[in-house]
Amino acid sequence: MERINITRDLALSRLIYGMWRVLDDSDTSPERIRNKLDACLDQGITTIDQAAIYGGYQAESALGDALEGTHLRDKIEIVTKCGIVAPSARHSGVRVPHYDSSRAHILESVDYSLMAMRTDYIDLLLIHRPDPFMNHDETGATLDALVFSGKVRAVGVSNFKPHDWSLLQSAMRTPLSTNQIELSVVAHHGFTNGDVAFHQMNDTPIMAWSPLAGGALFGDDPATARLRQAISKFAVRTGFDSGAVAIAWLLAHPAKIMPIMGSNQISRIKSFSQAFDVPMDREAWFDIYTSALGHPVP
Ligand code: NAP
């Protein structure tokens, strides 16, 4: 599997496995989670995406339980996020869901994530959402200090617009290494609104969350009927399934997009890397893109 260098010392697998839905599975046992990790590792998918808030602040512990007593931690890179505070057992005094990019919150969240995942370092820490109340000097200095301490190997952001990125980066010595944004054949606006262009210009690889539109691509929503038909026609013609085609559409783009896959089904996980074999030239890319737009290019 291709690997992408997000810093001089840290490379991630081009496809990433996301654990947002891990506790939605009918089987959430450590053994089942290890089976999913093994299915990823067999294909060279070594990067696992987590967040403090996933699974009601329980998903990191589920991963930690699966890693316990194994050598799996040395074979994977863990991405996790901080900054969303919601009323929960974890944040019992909290009344109003909010974002928190303060030093106190980031440091507490990182220590909790390390404890939950039974590890002494996080490969990549992301600020989960832009915080409209952010003190960029405080947040930037905290991220720098975390990298300096070795608790975190690299830092980045998620759902940031270019101006949010520039504000935070202006107060940091460590380069921000990635932005995790929603990007798919359905959520394609990033390709024209400046989000992707900004990262292409800065040569910062993008992670694409919900690259299959969270499964909506396979539903019966009339709004995406034409797109589904174009993808499925292309899939039949090339001998792949529609999911692989939708991922190939992201992989083909020159911005070094890293799709984060979210399936809980082992059979689907085992076939993630088929997307690399789908032939996707410029015309095929535009055929799918214009089906998503609903009209040909002017
Ligand atoms: P996704 O791959 O777009 O969607 C996964 C969903 O699609 C699952 O429910 C899966 O069901 C379903 N699916 C996949 N293939 C299918 C098929 N052929 N037919 C029918 N359904 C199918 O990704 P996602 O789970 O929404 O997001 C992926 C990761 O992105 C998350 O785990 C998380 O790490 C990250 N994320 C980040 C943010 C952020 O704000 N940074 C937000 C959302 C997500 P099965 O399980 O049954 O296969």
Please write down the HEC assignment for all residues of the chain. Answer: CCEEECCCCCEEECCEEECCCHHHCCCCCHHHHHHHHHHHHHCCCCEEECCCCHHHHCHHHHHHHHHCCCCHHHHCEEEEEECEECCCCCCCCCCCCEECCCHHHHHHHHHHHHHHCCCCCEEEEEECCCCCCCCHHHHHHHHHHHHHHCCEEEEEEECCCHHHHHHHHCCCCCCCCCEEEECCCCCCHHHCCCHHHHHHHHCCCEEEECCCHHHHHHCCCHHHHHHHHHHHHHHHHHCCCHHHHHHHHHHCCCCCCEEEECCCCHHHHHCHHHHHHCCCCHHHHHHHHHHHHCCCCC
pLDDT tens across the length of the chain (298 residues): 999 999 999 999 999 999 999 999 999 999 999 999 999 999 999 999 999 999 999 999 999 999 999 999 999 999 999 999 999 999 999 999 999 999 999 999 999 999 999 999 999 999 999 999 999 999 999 999 999 999 999 999 999 999 999 999 999 999 999 999 999 999 999 999 999 999 999 999 999 999 999 998 888 888 888 899 999 999 999 999 999 999 999 999 999 999 999 999 999 999 999 999 999 999 999 999 999 999 999 9
Active site residue 57: no
Q: Is residue 211 within 6 Å of ligand 1 at its C-beta?
A: yes
Give domain 3-293's CATH architecture: Alpha-Beta Barrel (3.20)
How many angstroms separate the alpha carbon of residue 278 from the centre of ligand 1? 20
How many angstroms separate the alpha carbon of residue 115 from the centre of ligand 1? 26
Q: Whose CA is nearest to atom 30 of ligand 1?
A: 209
The domain spans of the chain are: 3-293
